Structure 1
Amino acid sequence: MPPASSASPDSPRVALLVETSTTWARSILDGINRYLRKGDYWQIFLEPHGSNESIRMPAGWVGEGVIADIKDMAMARQLHALDIPVVNISQLTFPGLAFPTVTTDISACLRMAAEYYFERGYENLGYLRLDRNAFDGNMSREFGHFVQHAGGRFFPKSVKNRAWGVADWNVSIRELAGWLRELPKPVGLFSWAIGREVIHAVHLAGLRIPEEVALVMLSDDEIFLEMSHVPMSGITHPGAEIGHEAAQMLADLMAAKATAAPPAGTPVKKRSAGPVRQSRPSAPPPVRLIKPLGIRTRQSSDVLAITDPALRAAIGYVRQHAGEPLQVDDLARHAGVSRRTLEQKFAQTLERSPAEYIRDTHLGRARELLRETTLPIPQVADASGFSSPEYMAQLFRARLGVSPLRYRRQVSAR
């Protein structure tokens, strides 16, 4: 059991201004709760809220700290005026109002999505963004930069916006279907908020998903992505780790503020006459960006956009046997070509060797097992096709900078 802590009149009063309707938000709250179970006692203030709400602090509330998903300038101004530590967990920033922040590394998400498609042989990538939404517009531009810098072709599309992170329910599916028909095929699409609309438009256009149009979403809210004629793939965010780290950051900030405050009744020293010293500019508040955990592939993107039959056969063989030890010669035999020919095909299309592709696939399976199971490390190595736990650990340190055990602790928010 965690160390026991008890309430006292001096226990910090902490407001959690976080919506409670999505998997992402609930995992963040779970991470905060895990931190508190280690021993800190906070008086928590939390209410149920929907994902599109801009939550406001009740008038007259007095407390010592806030963790908030800050969504607009009005909310930012209200929280800034409290003059208490506030940790922001949203990706938004506000001119002139800088907050300590713990959130997902959105640039890493965009890069991950682009690489996901390129690894599967896609050259044509598109982004569907919400009209008049600066945050989504920035993501579209950055995703396009990744795509074009890697030599791909980029096709952005703007869709009418109804609310924060939500497409208008009256968006023209017919117009969207017309846009999809005109795109070169196969095409891989990425979006923050426009998912089921794409599925409907693909069906109306008479296209096949994922063979002609593939789709990956920025989030991985299971209910929303599964409740579709075609279940949608999505990026898995480190919500529990964000919540845990946000709670740790807030605890540190509250402790620092309490230490800096003079004891009650301490007389204020008068400033002596003479020249006024210019104060040093304060350091910017801490910002921690946490990388996404991976992409959960569902039917909307479970395909390879590779036309070469030998290369397609080799990649399919690796995916089917991801948990087994594999050799390049195994792939070549299955594909019906020589090892040298297969290596040339991998280099020309995927810009990596067959051996690197095998290692990447084994690494991806190991990361998935470490995230989603409690298997011991040796069993994870065996089930991921590694020859030994030591070799798996060596690859983890080389690619991710941490051991497998450390990786598991990170993604489970300790």
Structure 2
Amino acid sequence: MAESPESQIPPRRPRVALLVESSNAYGRGLLRGMASYVRAHGSWSIQLPEMGRGGPVPDWLADWEGDGIIARIEHEEIAEAVRAKNVPTIDLSAGRLLPELPWIEVDEAAVAKVAVDHLCGRGLEHLAFCGDQRFRWSVLRGNAFEAEASKRARSLALFHAPPVDDRVTALAEWLSKLPRPLGVFACFDRVGRELLDACRMAGLLVPEEVAVLGTDDDELVCDLSDPPLSSITLNPHGTGFLAAELLGRQMAGESVSTEGHFIPPLGLVQRRSTDVLAIEDPVLARALHFIHHHACDGIRVEDVLRAASVSRRVLESRFKERLDRSPHQEILRARIERIRALLLETDLTIAEIARRTSFQHVEYMTVAFKRALGCTPTAYRQRAGDGKGRG
């Protein structure tokens, strides 16, 4: 029996507006995550304006008739425009201007811990945060950093840079007044690059006097910085995928909770801007230098003892007092960090990564990695959404 003409008509595709900036790496990562969901779960008719973060409401939105919205709602104008559409919406902003909406944001406490662990792991005792006062997420990031750093830093400074034309000069004046050697955490990579410019203006050496760490791992910004900028890798792909999944459920008539979803970072990419060991204790400095250069060569604590020319009791005591971990834990931490970098930055197989980090068996590496990060190496690479994993 032939099908009726009506049964041959394809279902109407949901019409979705993506009010997300494509002007920076994080926004583009969000959009790639949404695209991955759409490819896997059916086609949407997408309306995607060219916009910057916090930009004006697109002119077409007032007359647009659609089924759902994913938006970065960062000012009242766009909040009112989105509310007026009265369609299922997912908010990707920390601003919470429409608290009745489901929302997804970065896990700032987890970001702060990665930042403090890295800077303190470099031996830095004087820490600082540089934010951008225009954005609530920057304030939240600074608050989380303050809470984490206050447990471990000898001194702590916070500065929310004003949106002025001569901001680099203001940053140079601020940096000049702080104790050194100093570790500075920037709210995002562009502020990190401004901090590097400010160090040059103030005659401060990077990373010897001031180590600078950014957020977002925007490769162009980081690699074109002088020196190249270390940065925390967030998970915009996973965030965008989850946003699309939640919107799909809403458009299907399902109720979605308005409680926040907080997405932890994927890790950290170290470049020249934090490549320093600011350790006054020469024994600890020698031990850390040896570990950081040879952790993936199959070394044991006995090798570290020989390199540092010290007894196990003394070394264990100094590690515990200064870093709150043992030499063995530091070796394993350095190996895990190397695994993370290889997962994010290369398309090496899981077996090859295990070999390069001196794990005799993939299974041993998988257990250690999961114990440290809560997921397998393969799952970690897939979560990053880089599309390169073959493990």
Normalised TM-score (structure 1) = 0.84
Contact 1:54–1:70 (CA<8 Å) still a contact in 2? no
Could you tell me how far apart the structure 2 residues matched to 1:235 and 1:7 are? 48
Residue 264 of structure 1 corresponds to: none
Could you tell me how far apart the structure 1 residues matched to 2:326 and 2:376 are? 24
Equivalent in 147, 165, 171 of residue 169 of structure 1: 165
TM-superposed deviation, 1:224: 2.2
Equivalent in 230, 233, 236 of residue 233 of structure 1: 230
Equivalent in 106, 109, 115 of residue 107 of structure 1: 109
Q: Secondary structure at the match of 1:59?
A: helix
Unpaired runs of at least 5, structure 1:
1-5, 162-167, 261-282
Matched, 1:160 2:156: no
Matched, 1:189 2:184: yes
The one-letter code sitting in structure 1 at the alignment partner of 2:293 is Q
Q: CA distance change for structure 1 residues 145 and 339 in 2, over 3 Å: closer, same or farther?
A: same
Could you tell me how far apart the structure 1 residues matched to 2:21 and 2:136 are? 21
Normalised TM-score (structure 2) = 0.89
Contact 1:195–1:217 (CA<8 Å) still a contact in 2? yes
Contact 1:125–1:155 (CA<8 Å) still a contact in 2? yes
Q: CA distance change for structure 1 residues 378 and 134 in 2, over 3 Å: closer, same or farther?
A: closer
TM-superposed deviation, 1:40: 0.7
The one-letter code sitting in structure 1 at the alignment partner of 2:328 is A
TM-superposed deviation, 1:398: 2.1
TM-superposed deviation, 1:122: 1.4
Residue 313 of structure 2 corresponds to: 340
Matched, 1:383 2:385: no
TM-superposed deviation, 1:211: 0.8
1:84-163 pair list within 5 angstroms: 84-94=87-97, 97-131=99-133, 133-161=135-163
Unpaired runs of at least 5, structure 2:
1-7
TM-superposed deviation, 1:189: 0.7
Residue 265 of structure 1 corresponds to: none
Higher alpha-carbon deviation: 196-205 or 18-27: 196-205
Could you tell me how far apart the structure 1 residues matched to 2:84 and 2:53 are? 24
Could you tell me how far apart the structure 1 residues matched to 2:386 and 2:281 are? 42
Greater per-residue helix proportion: 2
Could you tell me how far apart the structure 2 residues matched to 1:135 and 1:116 are? 21
Q: After superposition, what is the alpha-carbon deviation per residue over 1:231-273, rounded to whole angstroms, capped at 9, x for unaligned?
A: 222111111111111111111111125xx9xxxxxxxxxxxxx
Contact 2:126–2:153 (CA<8 Å) still a contact in 1? no
1:78-89 pair list within 5 angstroms: 78-89=81-92
Contact 1:244–1:413 (CA<8 Å) still a contact in 2? no
Q: CA distance change for structure 1 residues 140 and 286 in 2, over 3 Å: closer, same or farther?
A: closer
Q: Secondary structure at the match of 1:393?
A: helix
Could you tell me how far apart the structure 1 residues matched to 2:21 and 2:268 are? 23
Q: CA distance change for structure 1 residues 102 and 328 in 2, over 3 Å: closer, same or farther?
A: same
Residue 374 of structure 2 corresponds to: 401
Q: After superposition, what is the alpha-carbon deviation per residue over 1:143-175, rounded to whole angstroms, capped at 9, x for unaligned?
A: 2122113354211224222xxxxxx222261x5
The one-letter code sitting in structure 2 at the alignment partner of 1:356 is Q
TM-superposed deviation, 1:80: 2.3
Residue 40 of structure 1 corresponds to: 42
The alignment yields a C-alpha RMSD, in angstroms, of 2.4
Could you tell me how far apart the structure 2 residues matched to 1:87 and 1:117 are? 35
Could you tell me how far apart the structure 2 residues matched to 1:45 and 1:9 are? 19
Residue 179 of structure 1 corresponds to: 174
